[in-house]
Amino acid sequence: MKVTLLASSQIKMMNFDMIGGSEFDRYHALIMGPSSDRLAHFAGRACYQAWDMPNPATANDMGYLANILRQGHESVLEHASATFYIEGVSRSLLAEITRHRHLSFSVESQRYVDYSNTEPVYPPASQPNENYIINSAYDDALDAYDRLYENFREQGLTRKQAREAARSVLPNCAPVAMVVTGNMRAWRDVLKKRYSTHADAEIFELAKELLRQLKCIAPASFQDIEEPF
Ligand SMILES: Cc1cc2nc3c(=O)[nH]c(=O)nc-3n(C[C@H](O)[C@H](O)[C@H](O)COP(=O)(O)OP(=O)(O)OC[C@H]3O[C@@H](n4cnc5c(N)ncnc54)[C@H](O)[C@@H]3O)c2cc1C
């Protein structure tokens, strides 16, 4: 499994500079810090036009967003987003992660991409003995896939039509790559469900890595998620 952060929200200082004029010093103070957290912090203060920060405990992102999270006022976390390129996960994981309706996906196509030379994805519980069994089952599936593809081509189907029909024998352990985007509130919801000891072991591993990277770009927005739920 490989998880690469492709993009995350960045505050444009110019835009902030143009807002408010005489209020600029306050805005400027507010934009110093991780962009995603700053954006949520800014959005929260914009609701009440509360630019004075007399309370030192909530004058920074950590303190302010801790309060927001306690109150469940999570809509302010929807302004910032993060996009990941996720590779080397199984089709079973794809079926699970796509259930999260607030995430956006671009998924490697089994209709266009030739799976003949792919390797299976082993579930985390799998040890060398089980890996051997999975490998052998995957090889058999790929044999059938290749034979089906040739048969369908001989029948006159196009390459795409032949692949889309032959993929019927590809198993859950077939690998897939995808680009996934979510806003911070959506990612938090995914983590609450999948960074859990009740979740499937592979998606749990993914959630753990996503959390690690999300905490780097938005530490205040994920401050309350530490241990598996
Ligand atoms: C441990 C575990 C086991 C599971 N087992 C199964 C299983 O056996 N079979 C199965 O089919 N699924 C299973 N799932 C998937 C699960 O049912 C959900 O589809 C998945 O977790 C996505 O969560 P969600 O539907 O709450 O929210 P998301 O789609 O991620 O949306 C987030 C939140 O937005 C709100 N929301 C989104 N859409 C609507 C809507 N249409 N109406 C009202 N509110 C909405 C809800 O508050 C929701 O919680 C499992 C999930 C987990 C974590």
Q: How far is 81 from 101, CA to CA, in rounded Å? A: 15
Pairing of strands 104-107, 2-8: unpaired
Quick one: pLDDT at residue 174? Answer: 98
Q: What is the pLDDT of residues 183-202, one digit of tens each?
A: 999 999 999 999 999 999 99
pLDDT band at 172 (very low <50, low <70, confident <90, very high): very high
| CB of 70 sitting under 6 A from ligand 1 | no
Q: What is the pLDDT of residues 199-213, one digit of tens each?
A: 999 999 999 999 999
**Mean pLDDT, the chain, integer:** 91
pLDDT band at 11 (very low <50, low <70, confident <90, very high): confident
* Positions marked catalytic: 194
| 96-100 contacts, C-beta under 8 A, 24 or more apart | 96/194, 96/200, 96/203, 97/180, 97/190, 97/194, 97/203, 97/206, 100/182, 100/186, 100/189, 100/190, 100/193
Which of the pair, 229 or 177, is modelled with greater confidence?
Answer: 177
Residues 170/91, Cβ–Cβ less than 8 Å: yes
- Percent of the residues in the chain that have a pLDDT greater than 70, as a whole number: 90
In the chain, the N- to C-terminal Cα span, in Å, equals: 22
Residues 186/102, Cβ–Cβ less than 8 Å: yes
Q: How far is 213 from 207, CA to CA, in rounded Å? A: 10
Average the pLDDT over 49-53 and give the result. Answer: 80
| CB of 198 sitting under 6 A from ligand 1 | yes
Which of the pair, 110 or 11, is modelled with greater confidence?
Answer: 110
Residues 90/201, Cβ–Cβ less than 8 Å: no
pLDDT band at 20 (very low <50, low <70, confident <90, very high): very low
27-31, 111-115, 123-127: which range is least confident on average?
27-31
Measuring from atom 37 of ligand 1, which residue has the nearest CA?
101
Angle between helices 184-194 and 201-217 (to 10 degrees): 150
Q: How far is 79 from 85, CA to CA, in rounded Å? A: 20
| CB of 204 sitting under 6 A from ligand 1 | no
Residue 16 has pLDDT above 70, yes or no: no
Atom of ligand 1 nearest to the CA of 96: 15
Q: How far is 207 from 187, CA to CA, in rounded Å? A: 9
Q: Which of 94, 180, 189, 197 to mutate to test the pocket of ligand 1 (most atoms within 8 A of CB)?
A: 189
Residue 63 has pLDDT above 80, yes or no: yes
Written as one letter, the residue type at 18 is M
Quick one: pLDDT at residue 30? Answer: 54
CA–centroid distance, 100 to ligand 1, in Å, is 6
